[in-house]
Chains A and B, each alone.
Chain A
Amino acid sequence: MPTNPDLARTQRWLQNFIVEPGTDEQALASESVKNEYAGDVSQMVVPSRTLTSAERVGVYRGMYLLRMEEALTTDYPVLKSFLGDEVFFELISRYVERYPSRSHSLNFLGRSLPKFIGESTDLADREFLRDLAAFELAIAEVFDEEQTPVLSPEEIAKVPEQAWETARLQPIAALRLCKFDYPVSMFKEAYRDDEGFPEVLPGNQWLAIHRRDYRVYWTTLDEPGYDLLGLLVKGGVLGEAIESICLKYEGQVGDVEIFTWFQDWVSQGLFQSLETG
């Protein structure tokens, strides 16, 4: 093996040493590290007066997972609080091994965490944790979404009555509609209010997570409202969407419910424009 390795080899060696799971000794002995340089680490990195060569590289290894944890804590504070520091750290250590950062920004590091949790068969309350993580991810995405105009009640009032049947509504960019198998917002609210977490019990929850005046809110919907809003944000024609929901939920949904939902959604600023005809 060369004692004067080229730059590419040097970088692959150091990176593999840093990200390899396990102890420093295990990382040094790993195939990924040995493939780049199999000689003594002191031939790559000189020791200092106070640290061995391996310890010097170990400084970077130690900081790597701490930095990943810090980034993921920003996006998933409730998940971390629920799991506890130790379990969360173990989870994210396995997560970044599977999904290391491939972006210039740490903002994107946690995008696959809900999926990873869903695939982690050894996690207790896996489905709940997946839903909780998905809720926190939606909040993070809404926070960073582009700012788009908001359709005001006054603009709505100007639309002629006959135009409503064929109108289409465009949602704001900072909106996510999510269905969960667990009442995840209760856990977020408990965390926010510094209260103990409720018991984990299944229960459907439909949420609209949205941003207004640069603050993120979540609104609990019932299933018919969620379905209708879902049709609208996908570009459905208003008249057809309403008819479809009234048919599906016959006896439960009528004009009063439709009007109330629509009034709420406009006041919450969920739409940016309305296209008629």
Chain B
Amino acid sequence: MSVLRTHAAAAMLGVSPNTLRSWERRFGYPTPRRTAGGHRQFDLGEVEALRQAFEETHNVSSAISMARERGCGPSSPARLRSALRRFDEIESDRILEESLAVRSVERTVEEVLLPAVDTLDVADGEPPTAELGFAWRWATGWLAAAKRIAPAATRPESVLIFDASVPCDIDALHAQALELCLRRAGMRTLMLTAELDSSRLAHVLRTLNPRLVVLTGRRAWLDALARIAYQARRNSDFVEIMDFRGALSESDASAVARLGTSAVGARDLLLARLNAYESAARRRPTLAQIS
């Protein structure tokens, strides 16, 4: 999500920062979000839409009305956040539909859906707000629907994701986004809770024989994650354990590869890793060739 500080947004519109703040009070637009320090951050899409509207109308209020109606061209996290804050499910769906007209599913998730819900997140230890609860459930439903219509797997390898988050955790949405990205890349994926008991875990590992195991979410005890890693390695010599979004702290996991915090970035890393294994396996001589 591209954001601008007050001075940059004001400069882009050719007005003073005070004028921009007065529009926020009078018209409620553009709507900045606040940083932890209380500074305004304006959405670039809204500022750009307003600047464009100034060229096409006669007054600031009609320009703002025009920018609002047009919805700033491509959907923005600010518009989605505003719809989610109003508990407006239909508008939220429409914003993502609009986004899908100009962005891929992956970019829509990464550039619109996740940043919008991220801004509604609360501090650790605080109970979720009603807005976050609504946004989280709506986003979960949307991601699940997108997963259902993802094409069938085209690759033989499977990826097992262990999610240690709880409802209303932003990490849970990122984990679902990763699963969606992997499915759309043709991989077989399964997401399970990290709190699975040992016998069921062993059964899943034997059945799926995953090539990659991804640990995500920050709510699991270290021994639960260690148990998953141990059982996965005991099940197969070729399995690789990876961390997405800091399930393991840096000091705990020197042998675990990091996938970063972006679902698309993680997908690219996983694909690169799988492709590297595949080409290495092709180069490896078979028993028949050796004899």
A and B bound?
Answer: no
